């Protein structure tokens, strides 16, 4: 088939440029009105989501399973998890209880507040979830501590502590017990009181004191609150008001490090909000670097401030219109589609540079501004239109894929290419004519590149073999390319919500790396949990019936016996009023004297704890009233919490499925009867290999699963499939387009071979620098395809027109500075504090560097000298 010659290839570009040159003011006015209308629309409709779940189509099977569970249990969707850590179990419990109550009354910011590991039910029935041996040990410890608990319950203060200790010391003096039996409480009290007197933070735990290391009294120092906030979807950070409400509530309750408590937020809502905050964090610096580098590149490309201004005005106007059309098309931007901004800037600048450099080249030849623009349009019309069409098809290839994030980017980028080309051949020529930049004073091409052109022609085979070797090395490195499609790795690991989530992941009992399974009813859920719980990859399977303790009767009997013995002890008829300061001093001195008396009757070193506590009491007795008040609070506040917990646990009642709290039942059984099963992994839940085995083992039993391990691994498969599908579609469509225009398989191969080569070289470089491919930076490859095809089209069409010495031409100058401009536009993203965006900038810079090398070195060597029959068209396309 005979190739089409450039003289017979008709495009609308010359006509559009000619029209703009004839009526520059009308073109300017129409463009200004269109840009203003787009600006108003974009400002009023701008919306963005940082939800990484929105990047994958909801029609994919695993997303449908995810939606099924979320729809059955909507209270577990759009949540924030409040993590309370206390220096002591009492601090964690009292803080979580107080914060949950305060937030529960805040209906303005929260739809739901619940304590998944606390509240009245677990306070009362929690002991039943221990083994019978643990229950027996716990109740025995409480009974053994009865002499201490009685005075403390009647007088929960520092005075009561001194009285309780005095009672135990009397037992030592009477020989009913030994001093060594009470060395643990004496040491703990001395430690805490010494810190108070020394002005250091002091936190005392009665639960640790009562626990012998074997019983179920060893309460955790971490508590959780699950909150479903009221979201403001009109805000870019919908949960910000709720997060601020949590911070304000914690502050008002004194829940801070100074009081031994930390309150942190994580979960879907805080993660998404802080994701946007990270994106926004140093956006000013990124934009400044992008603009400064762009200006510098444009200046070296054109050597004219007026031309630089014209290109920038064109880019800004086109970007505004593209933003408006993009929002009209997709309604809401996502973490991937927002990349259309640097994408448009980079590719739009390419068109502007191509036209402006060729415009300068024609001016050097002696043509006036209007004629130079017309001649530039005639020379570049076909390559520009073909390049824009190839880029459009490259991105449009993602539309049928399940990777919604990049499919939406394809929509906006495709529209952007139409806008960029339209503005470059209408608005830009009008601006250049009206601004009337000065005529260049020297050759626009790169005459100094003559030795390189000669070398490439002389050593053509050696250069090609060097690239073949680089290709083979890159192919050999392909098995080592790391694909990391865990969306959590796109987030800033230092952001509070992400740091908290990572901390939870290390906790096997609270790890977010769990799998949710859906069963048709409770009975089926129990059967499924039994089957899944037997898998070696599963450490625990939880259903509604997991909250009905087993072997209740003997446990209840032990608890009821302890309750009968301890009832009057922990529930005295009369409690003493708070002590005055003078009463505290008297109790401290009296007990200190008794401690020394008992210590004198005991040989060292057994008497050391008693002597140390006596000294602490004496120091406290001589301290200021404020110090004693603080010491009283350090002991009495956790004492109140512990006594209340003891009272609650001794009121345990039989538990059945019907007596479970309504909210707890709703968390595990949907109104239509479907039931939820939660599965915890065996092993290190931070290890991707553990999670892969975990998910595969569960999926073999039931496909109706969701959760972070499922989403992470299934998303990787979906994204990889989308890129294979889009890559094949793009290659076929662009190949057909090129063949339709070039009518030569050889020339199509000349255009696409360098693109494929630069792709392999980019992947090989990623292996060498240890950069994984992720959700964000994978967009470098469709961009690489689009930009690469554009650059190589310019060279191939110039070559097929008979151009020689390509590196000395104005075309090489345009391609070089276009690549630098695009590279700086994307490379500035590398400075972002957001890991996903930064990795995107890094890969884009690498891919553009290889694209430039392939365009300026490999392509000329591959093409070789042009056919003699086409040299008569050389002046049209080569521009040298």
Q: What's the average model confidence in pLDDT over 230-242?
A: 78
Q: Is the pLDDT of residue 873 over 50?
A: no
Sort strands 222-229 and 261-266 into parallel, antiparallel or unpaired. unpaired
Distance CA 63, CA 703 (A): 12
pLDDT of residue 871: 47
Question: Could you tell me which residue, 372 or 398, shows the higher pLDDT?
Answer: 372
Distance, CA of 178 to CA of 183 (rounded, Å) = 9
pLDDT at 90: 93
In whole angstroms, give the CA distance from residue 496 to residue 767.
31
**Cα 772 vs. chain centroid, distance in angstroms?**
16
Give the residue-averaged pLDDT of 178-182.
84
What does the block give as tokens for 170? 């009397």
CA dihedral 839, 841, 845, 848 (to 10 degrees): 110
Contacts of residue 457, defined as CB under 8 A and 6 or more positions apart, other chains included, come to 864, 865
Whether the pLDDT of residue 726 is over 80: the answer is: yes
* 216 or 522, which is more confident: 522
* Nearest-angstrom CA–CA distance, 377 and 19: 12
- 241-245, 400-404, 578-582, 765-769: segment of lowest average pLDDT: 400-404
Looking at residue 331, what is its pLDDT? 83
Among 255-259, 554-558, 875-879, which stretch is predicted with the lowest mean pLDDT?
Answer: 875-879
Grade residue 517 by pLDDT with cuts at 50, 70 and 90. very high
Q: Residue 8's pLDDT is what?
A: 43
List pLDDT tens digits, range 335-346. Answer: 677 777 777 877
Asked if residue 252 lies in contact with residue 98, where contact means CB atoms within 8 angstroms, the answer is no
So what's the pLDDT on residue 214?
A: 52
- Average confidence score pLDDT of the chain: 85
State how far the Cα of 341 lies from the Cα of 842, in Å rounded to an integer: 16
- Asked whether residue 802 carries a pLDDT value surpassing 80, the answer given is no
- Per residue in 28-40, pLDDT (tens digit) is 999 999 999 999 9
Query: Which band of pLDDT confidence, cut at 50, 70 and 90, is reported for residue 837?
Result: confident
> Quick one: pLDDT at residue 443?
59
Question: Which of 319-333, 386-400, 618-632 is the least confident region?
Answer: 386-400
**543 band by pLDDT with thresholds 50, 70 and 90:** very high
Q: Does residue 9 carry a pLDDT above 70?
A: no
Average pLDDT over residues 399-410: 83
Average pLDDT (748-766) is 89
Q: Predicted confidence band at 768 (pLDDT cuts at 50, 70, 90)?
A: very high
Helix, strand or coil, per DSSP, at residue 672 = coil
**Per-residue confidence (pLDDT) for residue 629, from 0 to 100:** 94
DSSP letters for 295-322: HHHHHHHH--HHHHHHHHHHHHHHHHHH
Q: Is the pTM of this model over 0.85?
A: no
Q: What is the reported pLDDT for 442?
A: 64
Name the nearest CA neighbour of 599 among 610, 614, 589. Answer: 610
| Cα–Cα dist 571/594, whole Å | 28
Query: What φ, ψ does residue 541 adopt, rounded to 5°?
Result: -120, 120
Task: Read off the tokens for 459.
Answer: 């050593």
Q: Please give the residue that has the higher pLDDT: either 713 or 170.
A: 170
Q: What is the pLDDT of residue 10?
A: 67
**Which tops the pLDDT comparison, 272 or 544?**
544
> Which of the given ranges, 321-325, 729-733, 772-776, 827-831, has the highest pLDDT on average?
321-325
Residue 675 phi/psi, 5-degree rounding, is -120, 150
Which segment, 288-292, 460-464, 468-472, is predicted with the most confidence on average?
468-472
User: Could you tell me how far CA 254 lies from the centroid of its own chain?
Assistant: 30
- What average pLDDT does range 389-417 have in this prediction? 84
Residues 265-278 pLDDT 10s: 998 888 877 766 66
Q: With a cut of 90, say whether residue 621 has pLDDT above it.
A: yes
Region 13-54+277-487+713-877: CATH code:
1.20.1640.10
CB-count exposure of residue 675 (10 Å: 0-12, 13-18, 19+): buried
pLDDT, residue 6, reads 44
Between 210 and 131, where is the model more confident?
131
Angle at 244 between CA 105 and CA 838, to 5 degrees: 145
Per-residue pLDDT tens digits for 87-105: 999 999 999 999 999 999 9
DSSP structure string for 332-351 = SB-TTGGGHHHHHHHHHHHH
Question: Can you give the pLDDT at residue 747?
Answer: 84
Output the pLDDT for position 444.
63
Alpha helices in 682-744 (DSSP H): 688-701, 708-742
Q: Is the dihedral of CA 16, 21, 23, 24 positive or negative?
A: positive
Contacts of 721 (CB under 8 A, 6+ apart): 401, 402
Q: Among 761, 754, 752, which Cα is nearest to 731's?
A: 752
pLDDT digits (tens, 9 = 90+) for 655-675: 999 999 998 999 999 999 999
Q: Where are the alpha helices (DSSP H) in 770-834?
A: 780-800, 810-827
Mean pLDDT (whole number) for 67-93? 90
Does position 872 have pLDDT exceeding 70, yes or no? no
For the chain, the domains span 13-54+277-487+713-877
Name, in order, each residue with C-beta under 8 angstroms of 191's C-beta and a sequence gap of 6 or more: none
Mean pLDDT in residue range 540-561 = 93
> What are the CA-CA distances from residue 331 to residues 63, 235, 245, 560, 820 (Å)?
21, 15, 30, 62, 32
Higher pLDDT, 656 or 283: 656
């Amino acid at each position: 088939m005979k190739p089409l010659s450039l003289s017979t290839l008709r495009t609308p570009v010359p006509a559009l440029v000619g029209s703009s040159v004839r009526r520059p003011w009308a073109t300017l006015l129409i463009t200004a009105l269109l840009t203003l209308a787009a600006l108003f629309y974009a400002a009023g409709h701008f919306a963005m989501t940082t939800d990484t779940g929105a990047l994958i189509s909801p029609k994919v099977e695993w997303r449908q399973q995810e939606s099924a569970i979320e729809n059955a249990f909507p209270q577990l969707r759009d949540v924030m998890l409040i993590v309370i850590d206390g220096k002591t179990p009492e601090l964690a419990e009292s803080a979580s209880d107080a914060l949950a109550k305060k937030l529960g009354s805040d209906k303005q910011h929260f739809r739901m507040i619940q304590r998944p590991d606390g509240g009245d039910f677990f306070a009362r029935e929690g002991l039943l979830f221990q083994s019978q041996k643990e229950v027996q040990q716990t109740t025995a410890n409480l009974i053994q501590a009865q002499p201490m608990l009685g005075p403390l319950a009647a007088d929960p203060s520092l005075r009561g502590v001194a009285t309780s200790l005095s009672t135990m010391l009397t037992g030592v003096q009477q020989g009913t017990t030994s001093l060594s039996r009470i060395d643990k409480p004496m040491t703990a009290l001395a430690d805490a009181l010494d810190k108070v007197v020394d002005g250091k933070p002091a936190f005392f735990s009665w639960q640790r004191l009562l626990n012998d290391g074997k019983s179920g009294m060893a309460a955790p120092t971490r508590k959780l609150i699950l909150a479903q906030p009221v979201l403001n979807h009109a805000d870019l950070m919908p949960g910000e008001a709720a997060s601020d409400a949590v911070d304000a509530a914690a502050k008002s309750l004194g829940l801070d490090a100074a009081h031994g408590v930390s309150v942190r937020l994580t979960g879907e809502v805080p993660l998404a909000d802080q994701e946007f905050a990270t994106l926004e964090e140093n956006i000013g610096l990124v934009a400044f670097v992008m603009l400064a580098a762009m200006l510098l590149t444009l200046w070296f490309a054109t050597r004219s401030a007026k031309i630089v201004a014209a290109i920038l005005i064109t880019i800004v106007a086109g970007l505004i219109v593209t933003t408006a059309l993009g929002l009209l098309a997709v309604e809401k931007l996502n973490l991937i589609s927002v990349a259309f901004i640097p994408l448009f800037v980079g590719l739009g600048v390419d068109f502007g540079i191509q036209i402006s450099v060729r415009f300068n080249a024609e001016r050097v030849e002696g043509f006036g501004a209007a004629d130079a623009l017309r001649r530039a349009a005639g020379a570049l019309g076909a390559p520009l239109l073909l390049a824009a069409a190839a880029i459009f098809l490259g991105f449009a290839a993602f539309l049928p894929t399940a990777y919604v994030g990049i499919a939406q980017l394809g929509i906006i980028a495709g529209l952007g290419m139409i806008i960029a080309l339209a503005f470059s051949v209408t608005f830009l020529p009008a601006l250049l004519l009206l601004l009337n930049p000065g005529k260049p004073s020297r050759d626009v091409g790169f005459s100094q590149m003559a030795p390189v052109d000669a070398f490439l022609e002389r050593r053509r085979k050696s250069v090609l073999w060097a690239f073949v070797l680089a290709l083979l090395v890159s192919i050999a490195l392909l098995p080592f390319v790391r694909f990391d499609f865990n969306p959590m790795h796109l987030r800033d690991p230092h952001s509070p919500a992400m740091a908290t989530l990572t901390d939870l992941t290390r906790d096997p009992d609270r790890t977010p790396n769990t799998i949710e399974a859906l069963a048709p009813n409770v009975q089926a859920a129990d059967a499924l949990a039994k089957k899944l719980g037997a898998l070696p990859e599963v450490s625990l399977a939880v259903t509604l019936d997991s909250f009905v303790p087993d072997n209740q009767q003997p446990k209840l009997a032990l608890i009821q016996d302890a309750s009968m013995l301890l009832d009057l002890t922990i529930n005295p008829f009369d409690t003493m009023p708070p002590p005055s300061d003078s009463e505290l001093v008297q109790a401290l001195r009296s007990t200190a004297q008794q401690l020394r008396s008992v210590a004198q009757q005991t040989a060292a070193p057994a008497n050391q704890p008693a002597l140390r506590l006596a000294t602490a009491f004496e120091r406290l007795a001589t301290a200021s009233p404020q110090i004693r008040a603080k010491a009283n609070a350090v002991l009495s506040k956790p004492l109140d919490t512990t006594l209340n917990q003891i009272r609650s646990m001794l009121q345990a009642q039989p538990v059945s499925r019907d007596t479970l709290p309504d909210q707890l039942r709703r968390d595990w059984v949907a109104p239509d009867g479907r039931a939820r099963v939660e599965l915890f992994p065996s092993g290190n839940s931070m290890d991707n290999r553990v999670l892969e085995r975990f998910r595969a083992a569960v999926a073999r039993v039931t496909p109706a699963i969701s959760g972070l391990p499922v989403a992470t691994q299934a998303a990787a498969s979906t994204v990889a499939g989308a890129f294979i599908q889009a890559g094949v579609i793009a290659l076929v469509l662009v190949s057909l387009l090129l063949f339709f225009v070039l009518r030569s398989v050889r020339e199509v191969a000349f255009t696409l071979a360098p693109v494929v080569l630069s792709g392999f070289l980019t992947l090989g470089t990623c292996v060498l620098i240890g950069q994984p491919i992720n959700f964000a930076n994978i967009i470098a490859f469709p961009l690489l395809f689009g930009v690469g095809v554009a650059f190589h089209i310019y060279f191939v069409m110039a070559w097929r027109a008979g151009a020689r010495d390509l590196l000395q031409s104005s075309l090489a100058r345009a391609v070089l500075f276009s690549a630098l401009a695009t590279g700086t536009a994307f490379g500035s993203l590398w400075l972002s504090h957001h890991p996903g965006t930064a990795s995107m900038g890094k890969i884009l810079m690498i891919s553009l560097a290889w694209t430039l090398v392939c365009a300026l070195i490999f392509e000329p060597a591959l093409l070789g000298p042009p056919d003699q029959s086409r040299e008569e068209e050389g002046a049209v396309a080569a521009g040298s």
